[in-house]
């Protein structure tokens, strides 16, 4: 009699929704050993030729991936690989490799590894989720060039000839993009985060996926049957019949709920007793406006302007920026567009310089970098002002820690206005200016800062991180990252009360804004606007429309007296179970 296999449940981070059951294909990690040998003078030109051929082949492969993505998903998804092509065309990279071959007399493989390795080491320390995730781009390009130099196959996925759930330590962005949906029905990885290209591609391809499982590659074997729930981040090895039945019914229920949520597009984000909040969207570029409109968001509460020029490591010109902001503002009008001024780390400067800092987490970044470079900052301010002629544009400064920074930034804004007036350029002279409250010192002095701005927007991801001294992407301390920690809630409430006292409206963005069980708590604490990813708008709207303001206030009152984060989550979950139990199936 065959031995019954034990059911094992693992929990990670669900990054692409859906439930799927299938046979495992474990993707073996490729060797990280890069061959190294000396190149005689007589073979240097031949080594240059090898490198050039590898670059050409790598460019061809990536262009093919982009073409396939254009046909199977969207242009936006294909654009994710523009950064790969830019690396291949980067003059500094190419010259550094050629110089390395010439001076070190080493083979191209080891030189490519060393040159890109320096950039990888630099970016890995940046206190910016997006930039840290771009390390995957550099690694992917480095691996692909080296594979093409040595004649190795880049991916083992080409060996698949039937449907599987792929399990791997990690997947390179190009590997994820090359997945065939008819053969790969889901994937799970040891590493990864919700902001990785792997996660983005999984969502674009609509493949259920879980990342951050730590040791799934050591727990499963090829041929095992597993179930993955991309909504909740649950992976079950050898699921029992009752689990299969349960998840089958759950998948059907989720599809029904999701269909019903689409009917809320034209409905307001309003509680049962008529209290209205603004439900906005976070976006990275003009191409996401379609999603904002599709899901029924009331404008853009956070436009991440740094994405315009991050990959170029320089400020995009004033007119080019203005064109983008204007296009988005016109498409959203009369709904608002809030442009956050560039939020980027000082150790990877967008101004063409690199400066290593001992602690970039607390270094020259965001508004600090902007104020250190007033001329470049005014380029962006003038661009935003030009777009403000549309009539619905607002400005938001990130990472403010004291009132002096706000005053300095506003002084530069006035200079930018004067320069445009001198050139007879139209703009909104009464443009609203706000700040992101993401440092405890800003929350604690919100009463003072409020006199100089029109609104606050609580950036809870960083506020939690700085309040609790927890790096949220550090697996060793991730358990301490608690958005409902009493200290965080008190800082939010302090900010709300200070802002309302001065007649300001208060927004909130970050992961907790997208959590439907926490939304009622935020409303009860006095938040006026929630800004979430476009696709999360229907879910949060349903949560808002399922409670009364009175219920939300009672929840907030109890939560602010709680002593533990788990206690707060318990209150939130109980209210959701009472008013909208169907939402618990989607989170």
pLDDT at position 358: 60
Q: Write out the DSSP string of 39-75.
A: --GGGHHHHHHHHHHHHHHHHHHHHHHHHHHHHHS-H
Res. 20: pLDDT tops 80:
yes
Give the chain's mean pLDDT: 85
Residue 58: the pLDDT is 85
- Catalytic site includes residue 509: yes
Q: Pick the more confident residue, 12 or 548.
A: 548
- Other C-beta atoms within 10 Å of 35: how many? 11
The predicted structure's pLDDT at residue 128: 58
Domains of the chain: 8-30+155-243 (3.50.30.10), 41-150 (1.10.274.10), 269-548 (3.20.20.60)
Pairing mode, strands 209-211 and 13-16:
antiparallel
Q: Which of 66-75, 174-183, 378-387 has the lowest mean pLDDT?
A: 66-75
Residue scoring higher pLDDT (299 or 60)? 299
Q: Which helix (H) or strand (E) holds 189?
A: strand 184-189
d(CA 162, CA 238) in angstroms, rounded, equals 19
Give CA–CA dist 385/89, Å, rounded.
33
* Per-residue pLDDT at 151: 67
Q: Ranked by mean pLDDT, which of 169-173, 182-186, 530-534, 550-554 comes out on top? A: 550-554
Grade residue 159 by pLDDT with cuts at 50, 70 and 90: low
Query: What is the torsional sign of CA 79, 194, 58, 157?
Result: negative
Q: How far apart are CA 102 and CA 419, in angstroms?
A: 50
Spatial CB neighbours of 350, under 8 Å, sequence gap ≥ 6: 306, 309, 310, 312, 313, 314, 315, 342, 344
For residue 169, pLDDT beyond 80: yes
Angle between helices 460-468 and 486-501 (to 10 degrees): 130
pLDDT tier for residue 178 given thresholds of 50, 70 and 90? low
Q: Are 534 and 294 in contact (CB under 8 A)?
A: yes
User: Tens of pLDDT along 506-558?
Assistant: 999 988 998 899 999 999 999 999 999 888 899 899 999 999 999 999 999 99
Classified as helix, coil or strand, 184 is strand
Burial class from Cβ neighbours inside 10 Å (0-12, 13-18, 19+) for residue 412 reads middle
pLDDT of residue 65: 72
Share of residues in the chain with pLDDT > 90 (%):
43
**Catalytic residue (choose from 119, 197, 401, 485):** 197
What does the pLDDT read at residue 354?
A: 46
pLDDT of 194 strictly over 90:
no
Query: In sequence order, what DSSP letters do the residues of 362-377 get, joined into one string?
Result: GSS-THHHHHHSHHHH
CA angle 429, 286, 377 (to 5 degrees): 45
- Catalytic residue, chosen from 84, 164, 485, 509, is 509
Say whether pLDDT at 353 is over 50.
Answer: no
Mean pLDDT of 563-570: 96
For residues 202-210, give the mean pLDDT.
81
Q: What is the 3-state secondary structure (H, E, C) of 496-562?
A: HHHHHHCCCEEEEECHHHHCCCCHHHHHHCCCCEEEECHHHHHHHHHHHCCCCHHHHHHHHHHHCCC
Region 416-440: mean pLDDT is 97
Q: Annotate 316-363 with DSSP letters as a single string.
A: PPHHHHHHHHHHHHHHHTTS-EEEEPP---TTS-TTS-----S-GGGS
Query: For residue 490, which of 543, 450, 437, 542 has the smallest C-alpha distance?
Result: 437
At 221-274, the pLDDT tens digits run 888 899 999 888 899 999 988 888 888 887 777 777 778 888 888 899 999 999
| 214 is a catalytic site residue | no
Strand intervals (E) in 336-494 = 337-340, 393-397, 433-437, 455-459
Span 262-308, pLDDT tens digits: 888 889 999 999 999 999 999 877 878 988 998 999 999 999 888 77
Cα–Cα distance for residue pair 362/125, rounded to 1 Å:
12
The span from the CA of 47 to the CA of 103, in Å, is: 13
Count the neighbouring beta carbons within 10 Å of the beta carbon of residue 3. Answer: 5
- At residue 84 the predicted structure's pLDDT band, cuts being 50, 70 and 90, is confident
Task: Report the run of H or E that residue 280 belongs to, with start and end.
Answer: strand 278-283
Residue 80 pLDDT level (bands cut at 50, 70, 90): low
Task: Look at residue 309 in the predicted model and tell me its pLDDT.
Answer: 66
User: Which pLDDT belongs to residue 285?
Assistant: 77
In this prediction, residue 430 carries a pLDDT of: 97
What angle is formed at CA 577 by the lines to CA 473 and CA 461, rounded to 5 degrees? 20
Q: Say what the pLDDT of residue 196 is.
A: 67
Is the pLDDT confidence value at 181 over 90? no
Per-residue pLDDT at 428 exceeds 60: yes
Res 445 pLDDT > 70: yes
pLDDT at 3 over 80: no
Tokens, residue 126: 């940046």
pLDDT of residue 109: 86
Q: How many CA atoms lie within 13 A of 461 on its CB side?
A: 16
């Amino acid at each position: 009699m065959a031995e019954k296999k034990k059911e094992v449940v693992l929990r990670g981070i669900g990054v692409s929704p859906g439930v799927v059951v299938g046979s495992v294909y474990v993707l073996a990690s490729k060797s990280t050993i890069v061959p190294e040998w000396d190149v005689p003078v007589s073979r240097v030109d031949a080594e240059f030729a090898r490198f050039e051929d590898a670059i050409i082949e790598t460019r061809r492969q990536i262009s093919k991936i982009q073409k396939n993505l254009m046909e199977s998903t969207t242009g936006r998804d294909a654009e994710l690989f523009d950064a790969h092509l830019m690396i291949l065309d980067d003059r500094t990279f190419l010259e550094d490799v050629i110089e390395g071959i010439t001076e070190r007399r080493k083979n191209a493989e080891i030189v490519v590894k060393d040159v890109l390795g320096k950039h990888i080491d630099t970016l890995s320390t940046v206190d910016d989720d997006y930039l840290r995730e771009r390390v995957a781009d550099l690694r992917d390009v480095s691996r692909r060039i080296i594979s093409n130099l040595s004649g190795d196959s880049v991916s083992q996925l080409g060996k698949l000839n039937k449907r599987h759930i792929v399990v791997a330590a990690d997947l390179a962005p190009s590997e994820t993009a090359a997945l065939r949906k008819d053969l790969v029905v889901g994937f799970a990885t040891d590493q990864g985060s919700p902001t990785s290209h792997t996660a983005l591609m999984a969502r674009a391809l609509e493949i259920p996926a879980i990342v951050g499982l730590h040791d799934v590659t050591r727990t499963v074997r090829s041929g095992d049957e597993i179930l993955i729930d991309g909504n909740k981040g649950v992976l079950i090895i050898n699921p029992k019949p009752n689990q299969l039945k349960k998840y089958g019914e759950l998948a059907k229920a989720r599809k029904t709920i999701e269909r019903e949520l689409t009917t809320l597009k034209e409905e307001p984000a309003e509680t049962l007793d008529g209290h209205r909040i603004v439900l906005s969207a976070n976006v990275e570029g003009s191409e996401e406006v379609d999603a904002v409109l599709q899901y029924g968001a009331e404008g853009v509460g956070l436009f991440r302007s740094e994405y315009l020029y991050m990959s170029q490591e320089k400020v995009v010109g004033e007119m080019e920026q203005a064109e983008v902001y204007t296009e988005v503002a016109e498409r959203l009008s009369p709904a608002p567009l809030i442009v956050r001024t560039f939020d980027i780390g000082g150790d990877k400067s967008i101004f063409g310089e690199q400066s290593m800092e001992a602690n970039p987490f607390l270094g020259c970044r965001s508004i600090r970098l902007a104020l250190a470079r007033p001329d470049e900052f005014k380029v962006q301010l003038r661009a935003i002002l030009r777009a403000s002629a549309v009539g619905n544009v607002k400005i938001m400064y990130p990472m403010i820690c004291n009132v002096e920074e706000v005053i300095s930034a506003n002084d530069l804004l006035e200079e930018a206005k004067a320069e445009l007036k001198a050139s007879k350029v139209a703009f909104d002279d009464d443009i609203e200016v706000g700040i992101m409250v993401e440092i405890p010192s800003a929350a604690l002095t919100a009463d003072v800062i409020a006199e100089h701005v029109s609104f606050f927007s609580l950036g809870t991801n960083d506020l939690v991180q700085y309040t609790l001294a927890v790096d949220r992407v550090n697996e060793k301390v991730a358990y301490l990252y608690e958005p409902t920690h009493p200290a965080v809630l008190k800082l939010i409430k302090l900010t709300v009360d200070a802002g309302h006292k001065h007649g300001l409206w208060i927004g909130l963005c970050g992961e907790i804004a997208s959590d439907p069980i926490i939304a009622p708590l935020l409303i009860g604490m006095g938040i006026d606007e929630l800004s979430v990813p476009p696709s999360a708008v229907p879910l949060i709207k349903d949560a808002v429309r399922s409670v009364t303001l009175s219920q939300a206030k009672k929840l907030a009152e109890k939560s602010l007296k709680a002593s533990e984060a788990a206690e707060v989550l318990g209150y939130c979950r109980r209210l959701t179970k009472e008013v909208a139990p169907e939402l618990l199936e989607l989170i």
